[in-house]
Amino acid sequence: MARRPFPTELMRAFQLLFIAVPTMLAAQNATAPRTLPTNPRWWFGGVAQFASPRGEFATQVDGAWGVAGHGLFRVAGPVLARVDLGYLNYGREVRRQPLGTGGLGLVNVDVATTNNIVTGGIGAQLGAPGKRVSPYVGASVGYSYFYTRSSAEGQGNQNQGAFASTTNLDDATFAPAVFGGLYWPITDWIRLDLHVRRQSHDEVRYLREGSITFDAQQRPILAPVRTRADYMTFGIGVTAIAF
């Protein structure tokens, strides 16, 4: 069984994030200047993030990588409403095997299994992006969706994508969080965003690397784990004024 650190979907998400940042900067120079709002009310942004498991989760998972996006709305003064949506991948395994019996046995495919978390939340933030270096803190509540998916891909995944997939196991749980960070001005419209988040979860069922084995007839055997799934995320990205 071979292991690869990043699934195709995660690599594409990173590419989109890092293409978007220089595109936003270039767009400001290539178009007519916009009037900077004197009191901005809306922002949006995104970060690339690394998750470091805590507690019981740390005994099962080494770490995770992903991306997250957020939107901000000024309620009053430095008080903002915040919406977050994030994705993490905490494991990927690839098993190469024949596509079937008979003539199909001459065709090998990669069966890629990924372990993933999608988290959404809504909350409040104290501290808005400003003209100077600006700290912020906040809290949110939401839900996280844990799922493991297996996909059949062309051998070596030669940019062909998966032609078949199934979800092996999934579960969802309550997901409160506290967070903080620092905004650093890059341009009048864009701020570098250094973000730290403590993400908590109730107990949840999930699969990790090594949770799927095969018997003598090559039938899969699932061994899910049930624990709390708390972790810290460390992110770097940008937040931009919308209007």
Question: What is the pLDDT averaged over residues 55-63?
Answer: 96
Q: Is the pLDDT of residue 18 over 80?
A: no
Q: Which of 162, 145, 48, 160 is nearest to 94 (CA)?
A: 162
Provide the pLDDT for residue 169: 96
Q: Cβ(241)–Cβ(129) under 8 Å? A: yes
Provide the pLDDT for residue 10: 53
pLDDT band at 227 (very low <50, low <70, confident <90, very high): very high
- Residue 143 has a CB neighbour count (10 Å cut-off) of 13
pLDDT per residue over 176-186, tens digit each? 999 999 999 99
Q: Is the pLDDT of residue 30 over 50?
A: yes
Q: Is the pLDDT of residue 75 over 60?
A: yes
Q: Cβ(84)–Cβ(67) under 8 Å? A: no
Q: Which residue has the tokens 């700290």?
A: 135
User: With left for phi above 0 and alpha for psi between -120 and 50, is residue 157 left, alpha or beta?
Assistant: left
Provide the pLDDT for residue 218: 81
Q: Can you tell me the distance from the alpha carbon of 122 to that of 143, in angstroms, rounded to the nearest whole number?
A: 10
The listed CATH number (2.40.160.20, 3.20.20.70, 2.60.40.10, 3.60.20.10) that belongs to domain 2-27+39-241 = 2.40.160.20
